[in-house]
A and B are shown apart, each in its own frame.
Chain A
Amino acid sequence: MDLLGGIPHRELVTVHRPWPRAIVDEDGWRKAIDRLASGELTLLGFWGEPEAVYLAMLGEAGGIAVISLACGDGKFPSVAARHPPALRLERTIVDLFGLEATGAADTRPWLDHGAWGRHFPLSPGPAPRELGRYPFLAAEGEGLHQVAVGPVHAGIIEPGHFRFTANGEHVVRLEQRLGYVHKGIEAQMQHLALDVASRLAGRTSGDSTVAYAIAFARASEAALATEAPRRAHHLRALMAELERLANHFGDIGAICNDASFALMQAQMGILRERVLRMAQALFGHRLMMDVVVPGGVARDLPRNGATELRRLLAEIRRVFPRLVELYDNTASLQDRTVATGIVKPAYARQFGAGGYVGRASGRTFDARRTLFYPPYDELSFEVPVLEAGDVNARVWIRIREVEQSLSLIEQLLDPIPAGEIVRPLEPSGEAGEGMALVEAFRGDVLVWLRLDGSGRVARCHLRDASWFQWPLLEAAIEGNIVADFPLCNKSFNCSYSGADL
C-alpha cells in the first residue's frame, strides 16, 4: 500500500490479484508520472484498453501496484513526455487503440507501418489517420553519413530496421525502427479459451516459450484465485532453468562468434544441443512448448528423468568451466568485448532494464529473487550483478547465471515433491484480473489479463523484457564503431517478436 500512498486514487479493484489495482483520475495519474520520473518508482508495464490506460509500477522495496485511468474522452496525459522509458509502449497504445496521449513530444507511429488496411485495430470503431513517410530523428553535422540496415538481416535472425548515422567508423546515432513482426497477438488473444490462449502466449517469443507460458499460467491462476500444485511449480522451474541454460549457451557462443571466435560457438552449440535433446527426452518438445498449462503442467517427468538430468549436469560441469577459462584467457576476444557497448547504470535503473542487461549495469532486480514466486521461495541461489555494463559484463552475467541454474536444477531434483501436476481451472462465474511477473532468460516477462465469467480471455497484455532493453542498445552503441554493432546487439539479444507482439 505504501506504493500507492502518494498517489490519490478512488478505489481499489477487488478482483485484481495478487497486487492491488487502483482506479485513479487525472490527478493520481500525474502523481504516478511524477514518482516514475523522479526514480522513486520503476515502470513495469503500460498498456491500453479501448477506454482506459494502465500503469504497472515497482517500488524500491519490491512492492508492485497497478493504476488505471478511464479515458472516456479518448485522451490521457502522456507518460513518455516526462518518463522516456514509456515512449514505445505509449506509441503502441496510440497505434492499437486510437487514444491520444496529450502533451506527447513524439507522436510518430510505432507498430503501425500503414500496412494493416486499417488503423487502431483494437478500438471499437474505425477512425481515420494520416500516416506519411516515417521521419527518422535527425543527426546533422559535417561528414556524417547514414547506414540503413534491415529489416532483412544477414544472419538467421529476426527482422528490424536500424538506421545508423556515423562519422567515419563511429556511430553518432542509432535509431531502431521495429514492428515488422507485429502479429496482433493481443487481438488474437481476445475471447480465447485458456488452453489455446496459453499456446498463443507461448509463441510471443519462442526462445522464452516456457517463461511466457508460466507467466500466462500464473496470471490466469491469480485471476481465478487459485494456485498450481507444488509439484507443478517444481517442474515449471525445472523447465525454466533448462530454457535459461539453452539460451545462455547459445548467446555466449553467438557473442564470441560475432567477435570472430568460432570455436566458442561450436562448443557452446554442443552444450545447447545437449540441453534441447534432454528437453525433448523429458518433456516431449525441444523448446518445451505447451508443457506448462494454466493450472499446472501437462506432463510429468519420466521415471528416469532425474537420473538423466543429473548426467547432463555432470557433463556441463565437466566442459563449461574449461570454456569459461578459454573466454577469460583469450586476449583477442577480450579486446573486442571489454569496454564495448557500455550501458550506464543510471540508464539501466531509469529504464528498469531486466535480465543480464540490467544486472551487468548494477541493477539487482531478478523476478525470482525480488518476488520469490514459487518454487524459488524454497531454493537457495545468488543473483550475480556487475557494474561495468559492457559486452564483457553481459557475457559474465550469463556465465554466472549458468552456474546458478545448474545448482537450481540440482536443488529442484532433491527431491521433486510428490503429488498431482495439474489442478484444472474452473471458471468462477465472474470476471477476474490477474498479473504475473516471471524471470525469462533475458529478463522479466509481465502478463496481465482479465478473464470473463466463463473463463475466457477478455483482454491480455504481454510485456517482454526487451521493451526496456532495446532503447538502451541505442545508447550503448553511441561512440562505438559500426563494426561492433553486431557484437553489442548479440550481447543484448533482445526479442523482436516479443516486443512487436
Chain B
Amino acid sequence: MRRTLLESLTHGPLTEPPPAPDPAALAELAGRVTQAAQARLGRSLAIRQVDAGSCNACELEIQALSNAFYDLERFGLRFVASPRHADVLMVTGPVTKNMREALLRTYDATPDPKWVVAVGACAADGGLFKGSYACIGGVSDVVPVDLHIRGCPPSPTELLQGLLALLQHVEGNAG
C-alpha cells in the first residue's frame, strides 16, 4: 500500500483542468435561477441522482465524474445520499411508468430552492423508448426541468460542462 500511496504523491495529479461551461446550457439556464436562490446557496451544490429508467450507461458516466481525472468535488459539487440533503436532482432515463411515483416523491422530498438536471437522450424525450406503453417520455413531462445534458450517454466532460454552467448561474457570475 505504501508504494501505491507514495507513487500517487510523486507522479503528479491526474486531475485535468475543467472544461469551459457549455454555452447552450448557459442559455437554457438564463432566467431560471433567481437572485434569492443565488444568495442562499453560495458556491456549492449537493446533487441527488435518480435513475428513472435508464439503461445504466448514464449512471456509469455520472459515477466517472468522481474519478481522479474529473474530481467533481473540487468544484463544490458533490453527490448526496438523500433528496433531503440535495439542491439538484440529476435524473436519467425515459421515466418508466413504474418509476414515476418514486421520482415525484423524490422531487417533493427535495427542499426548495432546487434544480432538476435531465441527463441523457432518454431523459430529454424518451429517446429510443419514446412511445413505449411503459414509459412517459421526457423528465419534463413529470417534473420541471432546468437543464438538459444530452448524449447517449453524455461523457463525463459533457456532464461537467453542464454542471459548471449550472454552478456559474447559481453563483451569479453568468453574463
B44 at the interface (CB under 8 A from A): no
User: Do B56 and A273 have beta carbons less than 8 Å apart?
Assistant: no
User: Do B98 and A182 have beta carbons less than 8 Å apart?
Assistant: yes
A116 to B133, CA, bound (A): 6
A405 at the interface (CB under 8 A from B): no
User: Do B133 and A187 have beta carbons less than 8 Å apart?
Assistant: yes
30 A-B residue pairs with Cβ-Cβ distance under 8 Å, sorted by A, are A117-B133, A156-B79, A157-B59, A159-B50, A159-B52, A159-B102, A179-B98, A181-B93, A181-B96, A182-B96, A183-B132, A184-B134, A203-B152, A204-B55, A206-B58, A209-B55, A250-B63, A263-B1, A266-B67, A266-B68, A267-B4, A272-B67, A273-B69, A276-B64, A280-B155, A322-B3, A322-B4, A326-B4, A497-B54, A497-B55
Residues of B contacting A497 with CB < 8 Å?
A: 53-56
Q: Interface of B with A (CB < 8 Å)?
A: 1, 3-5, 14, 49-64, 66-69, 79, 81-83, 93-94, 96-102, 106, 128-129, 131-135, 152-153, 155
Please classify the interface of chain B as helix (H, G, I), strand (E, B), loop, or mixed, using the class held by over half of its residues: mixed
User: Do A203 and B69 have beta carbons less than 8 Å apart?
Assistant: no
Residues of A contacting B50 with CB < 8 Å?
A: 152, 159
A205 at the interface (CB under 8 A from B): yes
A308-351 vs B: 1/0 string, CB under 8 Å? 00000000000000110010011000000000000000000000
Residues of B contacting A181 with CB < 8 Å?
A: 51, 53-54, 93, 96, 98-99
A115 at the interface (CB under 8 A from B): yes
A171-198 at interface with B (beta carbon < 8 Å): 179-185, 187-188, 196
A287 at the interface (CB under 8 A from B): yes
A200 at the interface (CB under 8 A from B): yes
A264 to B148, CA, bound (A): 33
A199 at the interface (CB under 8 A from B): yes
Q: Which residue of chain A lies nearest to B79 when distances are taken between CB atoms in the complex?
A: A156
Q: Which residue of chain A lies nearest to B130 when distances are taken between CB atoms in the complex?
A: A188
A interface residues, how many (CB within 8 angstroms)? 54
User: Do A184 and B132 have beta carbons less than 8 Å apart?
Assistant: yes
- Which of B49, B94, B134 makes the CB contact (< 8 A) with A156? B49
User: Do B102 and A183 have beta carbons less than 8 Å apart?
Assistant: no
Residues of A contacting B155 with CB < 8 Å?
A: 280, 286
Nearest 9 pairs between A and B by C-beta?
Answer: A206-B57, A184-B134, A154-B81, A269-B67, A184-B132, A206-B55, A115-B97, A203-B55, A206-B56
A54 at the interface (CB under 8 A from B): no
